């Protein structure tokens, strides 16, 4: 459980970092606000026209007698909206990171320079267009994985008792893992760490990942919270990425007078920073 606490502390440290850097925090909120407006508009449109869409998709039920027609299509409308809401939660981070790639890259670099003993941040050496392409490609792969998990958990939700108790808890842990992958990707992609290797790193420290991502996933269930927490989540994920790769972290001067701590070395075979 120690790693769980360490992961949670990285989340708190990220929030404290952006609190001390108000300008970075303000710019970091913009992508989340844009994504929130887009998603809210889409969900409102679905709530308004969802019943019509279900009626269009189920013409075979037009001749059904009352109340079966209303119950059937009403149920499908609720399921459609629930799936859309689940997909919105699962994809919110990926879409926000894609929209805010330049914002979060800049924020992550500032965090790296701030905590690096030599004051330097790793650079990918890639053009912005290439970075955006890699980010979009990897985000799509993660979204597909997360969506498959989401559909599976949604189906398991109909299991009596377990579906209303165990499944939601598992769902938060699964969402937390994928959230952490998306957020650490900002710093790890800059170090040219490929998706397969990133997933391997995270799976090797699952308790650390859950300590960071699970509280964040639970908080993101509250409307608007994701917008305010996203900049700090990116900052905290950058700190955790350094831990995963075994890079040194210079702690905040207010906490321990600028001490330098060596993060645990990653398992043999992981790429060194900057590769």
The 10s digit of each residue's pLDDT in 38-79 is 988 998 998 898 888 888 888 888 888 888 888 888 888 888
Q: Which two tokens stand for residue 193?
A: 């760490």
Q: Is the pLDDT of residue 193 over 80?
A: yes
3-class state of residue 62 by DSSP: coil
Q: Looking at the domain assignment, is residue 267 inside a domain? A: no
The total number of structural domains that make up the chain: 1
- Tell me which range, 77-81, 90-94, 242-246, is most confidently predicted by mean pLDDT: 242-246
265 — pLDDT class (breaks 50, 70, 90): very low
Q: Is the pLDDT of residue 271 over 50?
A: no
Q: Is the pLDDT of residue 139 over 70?
A: yes
- Tell me which range, 17-31, 120-134, 144-158, 255-269, is most confidently predicted by mean pLDDT: 17-31
| Contact between residue 184 and residue 241 where contact means Cβ atoms under 8 Å apart | yes
Q: Is the pLDDT of residue 268 over 80?
A: no
Q: Looking at the domain assignment, is residue 265 inside a domain? A: no
Which residue's entry shows tokens 């440290």?
A: 13
> CA-to-CA distance for 136 and 3, rounded, in angstroms?
30
Q: Looking at the domain assignment, is residue 256 inside a domain? A: no
Q: Which long-range contacts (CB under 8 A, 24 or more apart) does 141-149 make?
A: 141/195, 142/94, 142/178, 142/181, 142/182, 142/195, 143/90, 143/91, 143/94, 145/178, 146/90, 146/91, 146/174, 146/175, 146/178, 147/87, 147/90, 147/91, 149/174, 149/178
Q: Which two tokens stand for residue 33?
A: 């606000």
Q: Looking at the domain assignment, is residue 65 inside a domain? A: yes
Report the pLDDT averaged over residues 99-125.
85
Give 61's DSSP letter.
G
Residue 18 has what pLDDT?
92
259 — pLDDT class (breaks 50, 70, 90): very low
Residue 254 has what pLDDT?
40
| Contact between residue 180 and residue 215 where contact means Cβ atoms under 8 Å apart | no
Report the pLDDT averaged over residues 83-103.
79
- Tell me which range, 42-56, 128-142, 218-232, is most confidently predicted by mean pLDDT: 42-56
> CA-to-CA distance for 182 and 139, rounded, in angstroms?
7
> CA-to-CA distance for 34 and 114, rounded, in angstroms?
28
> CA-to-CA distance for 101 and 94, rounded, in angstroms?
10
Give the closest residue to 111 by CA, choosing from 272, 243, 265, 275.
243
Provide the mean pLDDT of the chain.
82
- From the DSSP assignment, how many helices (H) and strands (E) are in the chain? 10, 2
Q: Looking at the domain assignment, is residue 260 inside a domain? A: no
Q: Looking at the domain assignment, is residue 80 inside a domain? A: yes
272 — pLDDT class (breaks 50, 70, 90): very low
Q: Which two tokens stand for residue 252?
A: 């905040």
> CA-to-CA distance for 114 and 248, rounded, in angstroms?
12
274 — pLDDT class (breaks 50, 70, 90): very low
Domain with 209, as residue range(s), is 2-249
Q: Looking at the domain assignment, is residue 97 inside a domain? A: yes
Q: Looking at the domain assignment, is residue 266 inside a domain? A: no
């Amino acid at each position: 459980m120690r790693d769980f606490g360490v992961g949670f502390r990285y989340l708190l440290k990220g929030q404290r970092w952006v609190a001390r850097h108000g300008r970075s925090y303000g710019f970091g909120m913009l992508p989340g606000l844009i994504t929130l407006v887009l998603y809210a508009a889409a969900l409102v449109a679905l709530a308004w026209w969802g019943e019509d869409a279900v009626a269009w998709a189920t013409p075979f039920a037009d001749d059904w007698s009352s109340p079966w027609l209303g119950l059937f299509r009403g149920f499908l409308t609720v399921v459609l909206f629930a799936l859309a809401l689940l997909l919105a939660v699962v994809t919110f981070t990926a879409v926000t990171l894609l929209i805010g790639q330049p914002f979060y890259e800049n924020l992550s670099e500032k965090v790296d320079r701030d905590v690096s003993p030599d004051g330097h941040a790793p650079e990918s050496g890639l053009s912005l267009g290439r970075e955006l392409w890699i980010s979009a490609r990897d985000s799509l792969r993660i979204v597909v994985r997360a969506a498959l998990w989401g559909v599976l958990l949604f189906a398991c939700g109909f299991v009596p008792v377990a579906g209303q108790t165990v499944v939601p808890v598992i769902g938060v842990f699964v969402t937390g893992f994928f959230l952490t992958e998306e957020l650490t990707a900002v710093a790890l992609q800059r170090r040219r760490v490929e998706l397969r290797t990133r997933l391997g790193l995270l799976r090797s420290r699952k308790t650390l990942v859950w300590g960071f991502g699970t509280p964040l996933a639970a908080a993101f269930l509250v409307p608007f919270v994701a917008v305010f927490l996203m900049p700090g989540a990116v900052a905290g994920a950058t700190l955790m990425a350094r831990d995963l790769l075994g890079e040194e972290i210079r702690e905040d001067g207010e906490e321990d007078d600028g001490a330098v701590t060596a993060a645990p070395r990653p398992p043999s075979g992981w790429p060194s920073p900057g590769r």
